[in-house]
Amino acid sequence: MKLDQLPGDVHLTYCTNIHAGESWRDIRASLDEHVPAIKSSVAPNQPMGIGLRLSGQAAATAREPDALASFSDQLSKLGAYVFTINAFPFGPFHGVRVKEHVYLPDWRDRERVAFTANSAAVLAAILPDGVDGSISTVPGAFKPNGRSSEAIAAMAGNLMMAVADLVDVERRTGKHIALALEPEPCCFLETTAESIAFFKDTLLKPETLDKLGAVTGVSRQEAEVLLRRHLGICYDVCHGAVEYEDIVAELDRLLAAGIATPKIQLSAAMRVPAMRKDLVAAVMKYNDGVYLHQSIVRRDDNLARHVDLPDAVAAFGEGQADGEWRIHCHVPVFLADLGEISSTRSDLVKTLAALRQKSRSSHLEVETYTWDVLPDQLRTGSKSADIAREIAFCRQELVG
């Protein structure tokens, strides 16, 4: 929904990647199933914004004229609108082993460019007039796949193709859409510092800008303006907390560097202030076998990164992972603690307080997609009720 009480043109929503479904038919059915109850709770008297997750196959289907017309009718009946799309996971995201495959195809692959273009075509067709659009996407690649100079060059080239497409979309339709790379632990972009460096050292190089300028028919200087307008960072508060970042300070670092944050994802991670042997069983309850749970252990001023939770537990058993643990597992933002362990909700609350005072992004999206694999004690009601509770919590913290 639009939050008129905040500075800037701010919209708050939740991400529909919480709902299973890869086909366009299944995605639309999930909206009919869940949105009415959520809207009646959080936005009964105003249009409700939706953060739409599209798979690769769904995006290709949804952009067809008949599909768009039917979807527009559905949104009207729901009293809803879409202003942001999650085009991060290309394939299945529920009920199967996702792990590191969630990043594929990554930005080395032209299929990622096509997926993004399909998503942009959908969003441009349904985006309300006067509202900016955003598309979140993978942070380049899984880190082992993005280290080489060849991989970095391929990612930069494909991102320029995506930016050129968004420039063309705006020229044709008047709809402004920005692509937002979402840094994540153990990925090519996992910290704010790495994100800024990628822009400075690769994307904003004269050679890269000249390629964009050649495609869009503008000068190098104008190409830089277009790049900054159509490409930025999706800052996920859970991911930033896992990296032990000062989230508000890092958001301001991005702004100071002239890098847009088209979307901020409002989320919380698991936290163990001091790992102990008797907590291992409680932590491993979250080892669902579906998602990667990157774990970062801090001891003194040193950070030790583990690609998945079992790796961190194995290191702890060998006496090599003592200290504070932060685990990439999106947990309900309205819960102050998780029983035997805790969460990084305090980081989220501080972020929301800062956003209340100063706009850092116009798109705020609650993203807890793990309800189906969370331990039973963390599910406080129906899925729709819990989603509504998360949105209400964030709205309360934002506007009082």
Per-residue pLDDT for 372 more than 90? no
Which whole number is the average pLDDT over 127-135?
A: 97
Residues 6+ apart with CB under 8 A from 371: 18, 379, 383, 386
Q: Any bridge partners for residue 85, and if so which?
A: 52, 135
pLDDT in tens, 186-216: 999 999 999 999 999 999 999 999 999 999 9
Does the structure show a pLDDT above 80 at 400?
A: no
- Please tell me the predicted confidence (pLDDT) of residue 96: 85
Please give the C-alpha separations between residue 305 and each of 250, 325, 344, in angstroms, as whole numbers. 20, 10, 17
What tens digit of pLDDT does each residue of 241-285 get?
999 999 999 999 999 999 999 999 999 999 999 999 999 999 998
pLDDT over 80 (residue 371): no
Q: What is the mean pLDDT of residues 24-49?
A: 97
Whether the pLDDT of residue 184 is over 70: the answer is: yes
> How far apart are the C-alpha atoms of 88 and 17, rounded to whole Å?
10
CA nearest 2: which of 131, 145, 169? 131
Which tokens is 27 given? 């995605």
The CA-to-CA distance between both ends of the chain, in Å, stands at 15
- Confidence band (pLDDT; 50, 70, 90) for 53? very high
Q: Which residue ranges make up each domain of the chain?
A: 11-268+344-399
Residue 109 is predicted with a pLDDT of 98
Please report which helix (H) or strand (E) contains residue 234, including its range. strand 231-236
The pTM of the whole model exceeds 0.75: yes
What pLDDT is attached to residue 12? 97
Residue 379: pLDDT band by 50, 70, 90 thresholds?
Answer: low
Band (pLDDT 50/70/90 cuts) for residue 36 is: very high
Which helix (H) or strand (E) segment holds residue 247: the answer is helix 247-256
Does pLDDT of 305 surpass 70?
Answer: yes
pLDDT of 182 over the 80 cut:
yes
Matching residue, tokens 């000062």: 246
Q: Is the pLDDT assigned to residue 7 strictly greater than 90?
A: no
pLDDT, average across residues 79-90: 97
Q: pLDDT tens digits, residue range 162-171?
A: 999 999 999 9
- With cut-offs at 50, 70 and 90, classify the pLDDT of residue 103: very high
Determine the pLDDT at residue 112.
98
pLDDT score of 168 = 98
More confident residue, 21 or 160: 160
DSSP alpha helix (H) spans, 129-233: 149-173, 192-198, 206-216, 220-230
Verify cis geometry, omega within 30 degrees of 0, for the bond prior to 105.
yes
pLDDT in tens, 139-150: 999 999 999 999
Give the per-residue pLDDT at 373: 66
The tally of CA atoms less than 13 A away on the side-chain side of residue 39 is 22
Average pLDDT, the chain: 95
Instruction: Note whether 38 and 14 are within 8 A (CB).
Output: yes
Q: What is d(CA 23, CA 31) in angstroms, rounded to the nearest whole number?
A: 13
Share of the chain above pLDDT 90, in %: 88
What pLDDT, on the 0 to 100 scale, is given for residue 111? 98
CATH number for region 11-268+344-399: 3.20.20.150
Q: How far apart are CA 237 and CA 216, in angstroms?
A: 34
Largest CA distance in the chain: 62
Q: Indicate the pairing of strand 260-266 with strand 363-366.
A: parallel
CB 323 within 8 A of CB 275: yes
Q: Please report the pLDDT score of residue 13 as a whole number.
A: 97
Crossing angle of helices 345-357/247-256, nearest 10°? 40
Lowest average pLDDT, out of 92-101, 166-175, 285-294, 339-348, goes to: 92-101
Which pLDDT score, from 0 to 100, does residue 337 have?
76
Report the alpha-carbon distance of residue 6 to residue 253 in Å, rounded: 21
Question: What does the CA dihedral 283, 286, 287, 289 come to, rounded to 10 degrees?
Answer: 180
Q: Which of 28, 9, 23, 120 is nearest to 72 (CA)?
A: 28
- The pLDDT value recorded for residue 303 is 97
